[in-house]
């Protein structure tokens, strides 16, 4: 169960990281790429923040996530400059790719009947014989 303080800090971090990443994407020449922070969760001791990022188009998502992870110290420094009056210590940032929208899209395709596993047995995972 998240405390009120954890939720407030997560909201501040989410808002500022969105601004930092969008600014970096525009300056880096990624005009057609949309980077959004879907969720931030902070641990109870406020030392670690897990940041879930959605990147569109998804073809470049893994490469951009690796670039974001490699620039984590610079992002943390920029975040500390933006939140110096709100946070005493900036938590360690851990970035994860949020693929929940792709998962939802696959479920919707299955429900609409575009990919019917009953008619096309190749969609089902193979069972391992023990």
Confidence (pTM) = 0.77
Rg (C-alpha) for the chain, rounded Å, is 19
**What pLDDT sits at residue 91?**
93
- What pLDDT is recorded for position 24? 87
Which CATH code, of 3.90.226.10, 3.40.50.720, 3.20.20.100, 3.30.300.20, is assigned to 4-114? 3.30.300.20
pLDDT for 99 = 81
- What's the pLDDT at 61? 84
Domain-wise residue ranges, the chain: 4-114
pLDDT digits (tens, 9 = 90+) for 26-57: 888 887 788 889 999 999 999 999 999 998 87
The phi-psi region of residue 29 (left if phi > 0; otherwise alpha if psi is between -120 and 50; otherwise beta) is: left
């Amino acid at each position: 169960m998240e405390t009120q303080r954890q939720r407030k800090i997560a909201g501040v971090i989410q808002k500022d990281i969105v601004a930092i990443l969008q600014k970096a994407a525009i300056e880096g020449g990624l005009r057609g790429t949309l980077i959004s922070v879907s969720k931030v969760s902070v641990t109870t001791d406020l030392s670690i923040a897990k940041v879930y990022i959605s990147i569109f188009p998804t073809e470049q998502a893994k490469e951009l996530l690796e670039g974001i992870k490699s620039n984590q110290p610079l992002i943390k420094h920029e975040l500390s400059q933006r939140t110096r009056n709100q946070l005493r210590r900036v938590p360690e940032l851990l970035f994860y790719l949020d693929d929940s929208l792709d998962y939802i899209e696959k479920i919707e395709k299955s429900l609409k009947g575009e990919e019917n596993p009953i008619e096309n047995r190749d969609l089902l995972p193979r069972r391992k014989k023990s």
